[in-house]
Structure 1
Amino acid sequence: MARVDPFKNFRFLVEIDGIVQAGFSECSGFGSNVEVVEYREGGDAATVRKLPGKVSYPDIMLKWGITDSHELYDWHLTAVKGQIQRKNGSIILQDDNGQEKVRWNFFSAWPSKWDGPDFNAKGNDVAIDSLTVSCERVERA
């Protein structure tokens, strides 16, 4: 039987409608949560039933090294000005050969927070921008 190794977490791409940006250093926060609603039935049985409630999705955090590209910042700037532009996107996990293996699609997303880099004259790290993207749904394809 052939050995099957898990995929590495550093080989990924991020695609967002109309925005092409390379060099993401980190992407986190995609998942889902179903709220548990407890309901106690009447009568002699003191049983508490657990029913599914609302579904929510955490914010997605993107981090990348600063380049000349302004596309993601400009997308956030439109939200700051009150003009929310919702976009769909994907996080794509690749194998060692660069082939797509797993895809997480997110829908109706908009940038809710932007953080610029921290500077330190004693360091030699890459300057990192980060963007928090709020979405209405995430699915693993």
Structure 2
Amino acid sequence: MADRRPDLDPYLGYRFRVDIDGIGIASFKTISIPSPETQVKEYREGGNTVSSKLAGITGATEITLEKGLFSSMELWEWHNSVVQTGAIPNRKNMSITVVDEEGNDGPSWEVVNCWPSKVEYGALDATNDEPIPETVTIQHEGVKRVT
């Protein structure tokens, strides 16, 4: 049997770490990591019947963080600061790092100028024994894969 190549082993989706300006928050259940999306602009020249395509504005789509509700108030307080004083003074940088089975850092992304635009909670339901979900919608000015 051939030796396994560690560089070809896929990373597992449930082992990751999130740091928001140095505050480690590792309790998220799911995180969406969007790719930047560039608008496509079509145009035609003169009497051409075939259109050409150009790159338009590249936009950063929002990130969604979901976790079970804990007693920590950090995310709520960050969002409340945005509500009280606006997004600009409350922007933070975030890093998302996938961790392998031995605890070593794997692929990571940097997210710049983040701020929470929404914090929402799941329903309180006496027939459900799942944790109450807390979902935070993060706006940002760019995601870059760094490793």
TM-score, normalised relative to structure 2: 0.88
Partner residue of 2:49 out of 43, 46, 49: 46
Ranges of 4+ aligned residues in structure 1 off by more than 3 Å: none
Q: Runs of 5+ in structure 1 lacking a partner?
A: none
Establish whether residue 65 from structure 1 lines up as the match of residue 63 from structure 2.
no
Q: Secondary structure at the match of 1:20?
A: strand
Report % sequence identity.
Answer: 35
Give the letter aligned to residue 81 of structure 1: Q
Q: Given that residues 112 and 141 in structure 2 are in contact (C-alpha distance below 8 angstroms), is that contact kept between their aligned partners in structure 1?
A: yes
Question: Which whole-Å deviations, capped at 9, do the CAs of 1:12-49 have from their partners, x for residues lacking one?
Answer: 11111143323111111421101101111114x32311
Question: Which whole-Å deviations, capped at 9, do the CAs of 1:42-91 have from their partners, x for residues lacking one?
Answer: 14x32311000000111000111222211111000011113321111111
Distance in structure 2 (CA, Å) of the matches to 1:38 and 1:138: 26
Partner residue of 1:74 out of 71, 74, 77: 77
Partner of 1:32: 36
Q: Runs of 5+ in structure 2 lacking a partner?
A: none
Q: Which has the higher helix share?
A: 2
CA-atom RMSD, angstroms? 1.5
TM-aligned CA deviation for residue 11 of structure 1: 0.7
Distance in structure 2 (CA, Å) of the matches to 1:30 and 1:87: 18
Distance in structure 1 (CA, Å) of the matches to 2:33 and 2:144: 13
Distance in structure 2 (CA, Å) of the matches to 1:35 and 1:24: 31
Q: Given that residues 19 and 72 in structure 1 are in contact (C-alpha distance below 8 angstroms), is that contact kept between their aligned partners in structure 2?
A: no
Establish whether residue 106 from structure 1 lines up as the match of residue 111 from structure 2.
yes
Distance in structure 1 (CA, Å) of the matches to 2:62 and 2:78: 16
What is the count of residue pairs matched by the alignment? 140
TM-score, normalised relative to structure 1: 0.91
